[in-house]
Amino acid sequence: MLAARHVVCALSGGVDSAVAALLLRRRGYQVTGVFMKNWDSLDEHGVCAADRDCEDAYRVCQVLDIPFHQVSYVKEYWNEVFSDFLNEYERGRTPNPDIVCNKHIKFSCFFRYAVDNLAVKLLQAADSFKDQTFFLSQVSQDALRRTIFPLGGLTKDFVKKIAAENRLHHVLQKKESMGICFVGKRNFEHFILQYLQPRPGKFISIEDNTVLGTHKGWFLYTLGQRAKIGGLREPWYVVEKDAAKGDVLVAPRTDHPALYRDLLRTSRVHWIAEEPPAALVRDKMMECHFRFRHQMALVPCVLTLNQDGTVWVTAVKAVRALALGQFAVFYKGDECLGSGKILRLGPSAYTLQKGRSRARAAPEGSSEGPSKDPGLCPTP
C-alpha cells in the first residue's frame, strides 16, 4: 500500500506496534519508530502510563536497531479530542474519543509527521476481534493513501508468536489496552465530575413515571447501561434522557422494548472514498450493514441519502441501545465505507407499542381523525 521505502511507524509500547515495526523492517523498509505522547499526567490526579509505554517503545527500537523519536500532541489532544469528549458528555451524548483521536491526532497531526502515496479501500482485518476499521472510519482518504497496516492479514496469536521468536518478550505479556485511554482504571463518574459540574436529577420509571432515586448528572449515563439506583434490588436500565429536566428514564429489564429502535439519522457522512457509493447517489437508497459499537455484530440496514449529505439508517431489525453521539459505521462486504455521528433517533419499540395501543383504544368514529405513530420518517 505504500511505495516509499522509508516508513514512520507509531509505537505504543505494546506488542502489536512492535511486531508491525519488525515486519516492516523485514520487508525492506527503513523504519523509524515514533512514540506519541497525547496526555499530560499533571493535568489531574490520575496515574498516566505514558512514561512506561514510552520506555517500552524505546526498547523495541533498540531490539530492532531502528531510530527512535518522540512527539507530543498534548495540546492538540486536549483541544481536539478531550474538549470534544467533555462537551459531548455535557450535552448528554455518548462520545467515542478513539474515533476522534484517529481523525485529529494519529491521522492528522501524526500523519503530517510522515510520508506520501496511493489511493486505498479500508478493508476489515483477518482477525475480526482486532479489526480496527470501526475506529478508522473517519480517517481521510489522503491519510490512508500514505498508511500501511502490516498486521492486517495476521491473527493476534500469530503476532504473539512472531514477538516471542524475536526477543520482544517484554511486550508479549502486556494486557490489551481497552476502553478510553485517558480514563484507565479510574472510576468514570469521579473522573468526569473533575471536569464537569454535577447536575442532580431524578431516575424515573418510563412505565409509570415513578421517581426511583436521584443521580449527579444525566450526562453521566448512556442508553442501555445499568442505572445505579440505591435501595433497589432489581436491575434497572437507562432507556432515555430528558435534557431539559435533567432526568434519566429507566426500565426494569435489559431487553425492555424502550431500549430498541430501528431508525436513526447521522451527521454528514464521512465516506472513505470521499464520495458516497455510486448506487446510493443513483438510487438515493442502498442496502449495506452498520455497527455503532466496536466488535458488535454487523446489522443489515437500508441507507437513505439526504441532500445535505446526512443519511437515515433503517435497520432490518430493531437494535438495542442506540446512543446519540456514537458513530454509525457502514460496511459493504469486507469494505468499511465510512461513518457518521448519530444525531437523531427514531421512536423506541415501546413508544410505538403505546401509540398503537392508544389507536386501538380510540372509539370508532372519533372526530379527532386517525392517530399517527409518534416518530420519524426517513425522507431525503
26's CB contacts (< 8 A; 6+ apart) are none
Give the Cα-Cα-Cα angle 270, 275, 276 (nearest 5 degrees). 80
Give the Cα-Cα-Cα angle 120, 125, 131 (nearest 5 degrees). 110
Beta strand 236-242 with 68-72: parallel, antiparallel or unpaired?
Answer: unpaired
Whether 101 is catalytic:
yes
**Beta-carbon-side half-sphere exposure of residue 78 (alpha carbons within 13 Å):** 10
Whether 181 is catalytic:
yes
Give the Cα-Cα-Cα angle 110, 61, 56 (nearest 5 degrees). 85
- The DSSP annotation for 111-166 comes to GGGS-------EE--SSTTT--TTTTTT--HHHHTT---TTTT--HHHHHHHHHHT
Separation CA 171–CA 367 (nearest Å)? 73
109's CB contacts (< 8 A; 6+ apart) are 73, 76
Catalytic site residue from 54, 109, 181, 301: 181
Catalytic site residue from 61, 101, 109, 288: 101
Separation CA 172–CA 175 (nearest Å)? 9
Coil, strand or helix at 72: strand
Positions marked catalytic: 101, 181
